[in-house]
Structure 1
């Protein structure tokens, strides 16, 4: 699949960034009771590694945006 897709073309990333209203919070989002509801830090591995062989490369590229 990767041979058919233009992964080198990052114009869509620039277009998406232009429409950003606000950045995502760097800290965990907590419930009223204090439990962590969402923590983007759990997805930091996406920025530090190569795509695993069993991952859809288009989705991996979007996640790295």
Structure 2
């Protein structure tokens, strides 16, 4: 099922004590959103400090 709606706060928690939370051991984790900035800020995401330094690569098919 492809569901692009913003997730509820409990679904985007990064709390490692939760049994369903993925353990992320990276120093930096990025995501993109069009309309859920406030939801992600509540779980400690913040805007990129230097967005002009970032690039991406999208491999199709």
TM-score by length of 1: 0.23
More strand by share: 1
More RCO (CA 8 Å, sep 6+): 2
Between Structure 1 and Structure 2, whose CA radius of gyration is higher? Answer: 1
More helix by share: 1
TM-score by length of 2: 0.23
